[in-house]
Amino acid sequence: MTNILKFHLVQDFPEQLVLPPLASKKLIPDWFKKIPSKNEDDWTVKKCVPFIDAMGVGYTILSHMDIYIYQMKDGNVRIYCPDEKHQAHCKRWPPIETHPQRQFPGSPMSGYTIIKYMSPWIIETPPEYSTLFLPPINRLEIPIIPLVGLVDTDTYFNNVNIPFIHTAMQPDEQKHIIPAGTPICQVIPFKRDEWKSEYTWLNKGSLDKQKEEREKITSERVDWYKKNSHQKKKYV
């Protein structure tokens, strides 16, 4: 059975003016595509299936417009929407707001300006499914680091705003642009199963199995995991 994750648009401007969330696998960046599979000395990250899987898991929410922001020397943030087709909307429903630093006393975030992306999307999941909101995975070139959050999107029917740190922001009155289409965060639905952890010592039979598997991995190297362990994940 295929589970359905629904993105409902809550704002009142035409749908053609927004960028719908996409399956993350469709947003693999150009820098990764250009990496060779092998260099002079060894295989590269291009052959690391877990790395690629993580980049492509779930869905990605995109900035639905160009957002121009700059931080004043007093710490306040101002917003510009130069795109004429969005100006009226920006006045009625600004795409970003800020969290005052007093909301993060004594935390590592207290020295940063926390900007909040006002997402136009309600996320709805089937019963017993929640959604994890993460920074775009392995996308260190994006100067946006969302704070991680987990929302029970089967019972919370409201848009989920996304607080983030803009790593280039300084109180220098320099303008910064978040272009339309910038990945804001990765969303991963999951079922709220009940779990219990255990730890054990491997017995001799299990140790022999692990040693045998390790020898196969060493001999086949880069393709062993893909051929023997990897399971396909579907997000469409």
Give the model confidence (pLDDT) of 130-166 as tens digits.
999 999 999 999 988 999 999 999 999 998 999 998 8
Question: Which of 179, 198, 185 lies closest to 147, judged by CA?
Answer: 185
- Residue 160 placed within a domain: yes
- Residue 223 placed within a domain: no
Rg (CA), the chain: 22
- Residue 1 placed within a domain: no
- Residue 226 placed within a domain: no
- Residue 56 placed within a domain: yes
> If you ran DSSP here, which 8-state letter would residue 50 be given?
H
- Residue 213 placed within a domain: no
Which helix (H) or strand (E) covers residue 54, if one does? helix 49-56
CATH code of the domain covering residue 83 = 2.70.40.10
Q: Which whole-number Å values give the CA distances from 57 to 61, 164, 172, in the listed order?
A: 13, 20, 37
> What's the pLDDT score for residue 89?
72
Q: Is pLDDT at 127 greater than 80 in this prediction?
A: yes
Q: Pick the residue with more confidence: 15 or 99?
A: 99
Query: Do the bridges between strand 129-134 and strand 149-151 make them parallel or antiparallel, or are there none, so unpaired?
Result: antiparallel
- Residue 236 placed within a domain: no
Please count the structural domains in the chain.
1
Domain extent, residue 108, equals 6-197
**What would the two tokens of residue 204 be?**
């001799």
Q: What are the residues whose beta carbons fall under 8 Å from the beta carbon of 76, sequence distance 6 or more? A: 98
Q: Pick the residue with more confidence: 216 or 192?
A: 192
Record the pTM: 0.88
Question: Which of 112, 94, 234, 101 lies closest to 166, judged by CA?
Answer: 112
Mean model confidence pLDDT for the chain: 86
- Residue 228 placed within a domain: no
